[in-house]
Amino acid sequence: MRGRVLPSALLAAGLLSGMGGYGAAAFAGTPALPAAPAATTPAADHNEHDVMFAQMMIPHHRQAVEMSKLAESRAADARVKRLAERIEAAQAAEIQAMSGWLTAWGERVPDESAAPAHHAMPGMMSPEDMRRLEGLSGRPFDRAFLTMMIRHHEGAVTMARDELRAGAYEPARRMATSVVSSQSAEIKEMKRLLE
């Protein structure tokens, strides 16, 4: 549906059941999404899937940035450090872009201080996973970081493919295409580093 976002009741009733099993849990305990009025600007050319993509990918990316920042002081392999720097830079820029879309649409931007619902999105690390990663350094950190980031990237690729199947907003679809391409390439790179 182009030009407006469905009211939150319809979103909860029908949309979330088709979002790969991770949509409904992401909004447990969060305020209902307001219905956006119809608009005549290019920003109106989006649908509820685009909103869902941005609202879920932002905390997903934030966790990847958090993981990548740990590599600066903990990684032993310079290649892991360089990879982490690339991930941090790319995903921080995408967070900024998606936050801008949500603001333009009058939608909720996920709160940076809120703990992400790790069970709600594919590839998210649990709080226990993150504490374990924080406690490692050297080669054990490298191996854990690569293993976790592969899983994290695989989750992002799944979410991006969902956006490509159902989203309408062209900038979001272009970002989803980029996520599939770049993160699939990084998954291959990380698997080579693990070998």
Could you read off the pLDDT of 132-159 as tens digits, one per residue? 999 999 999 999 999 999 999 999 999 9
Phi, psi of 123 (to 5 degrees): 85, -5
**Residue 19 above 70 pLDDT?**
no
Angstrom CA distances, 103 to 98, 100, 142, 150, stand at: 9, 5, 37, 30
In the chain, where are the structural domains located? 46-194
pLDDT at 9: 33
pLDDT at 120: 72
Residue written as token pair 């191996």: 143
Averaged pLDDT score across all residues of the chain: 82
- pTM to 2 decimals? 0.77
What CATH number is given for 46-194 in this structure? 1.20.1260.10
Residues β-bridged to residue 75: 138
Distance (Å, whole) CA 122 – CA 158 = 7
